[in-house]
Amino acid sequence: MTRLADIEIRLAPVPDGPADLSLLSATERERHVGMDPGAGRAFACGRALLRQMLGAVLALPPENVMLTQSGAGRVALVSAGAAGPHFSVSHTQYEGRAWVTVAVSRDLPVGIDIEAPGRALDWRRTATRRYHPDEMQRLASLPEGEARQAFFDLWTQKEALVKLRDGKLLPTLAALVPADVWSVTRRLSPLPLTCSLVVDGPEERSVAWHLPGDRA
């Protein structure tokens, strides 16, 4: 019997056209009304994918997965205990296409972030202002193309860490990634996207990645 992975990660494009609200709660539909069309489609797609993945773990239909959110705070699974499942959601844009990625962990808190390294950004200036001196020294030792990619590897790791610990971005950017977490970064070729997962605890975890075009 095949052992299920500790953490499942899915990446999906946000569909064009009207948002599918069928898996949104009444509260989420009210929130959706105030969004611009692009943000609304991404929001609806993210919540639907999240419910589908949590439903698979909990053996529930997606529409029966109850989520709660206080204001702009963290989204939580109703009635979930400290043992999990836990989840994290991230969005990005690349060449006019929105993407959403969801990580669901069976037992440990997680954070996930996805970015498009090809987007216009003065990454050297940002790194000089925001990153730890040891990280800047390492970036400076790399060729230009490798250094740019390494910058985004670090950025996604730290954004994911913020989501894991409900932290603040700027202090997290300025510090080294702590040793008490486990992280993995993947470049999602052929898509020019970089995704990092950070898990609470230093032990390596098994991760199943599900990308567009993968066979079921």
Q: How many domains would you assign to the chain?
A: 1
Of 140, 110, 104, nearest to 4 by C-alpha is 104
Domain of residue 35 covers 7-210
2 falls within a domain: no
123 falls within a domain: yes
According to the model, what pLDDT value does residue 1 have?
37
1 falls within a domain: no
DSSP of 140-156, one letter per residue?
A: HTS-HHHHHHHHHHHHH
According to the model, what pLDDT value does residue 214 have?
78
193 falls within a domain: yes
According to the model, what pLDDT value does residue 135 have?
96
State the CATH number of the domain containing residue 34.
Answer: 3.90.470.20
Please list the pLDDT of the chain residue by residue as tens digits (216 residues). Answer: 345 789 999 999 999 999 999 999 999 999 999 999 999 999 999 999 999 999 999 999 999 999 998 766 789 898 766 677 999 999 999 888 999 999 999 999 999 999 998 777 899 999 999 999 999 999 999 999 899 999 999 999 999 999 999 889 999 999 999 999 999 999 998 888 999 999 999 999 999 999 987 765
216 falls within a domain: no
Angle between helix 144-165 and helix 123-130 axes, rounded to 10 deg: 50
153 falls within a domain: yes
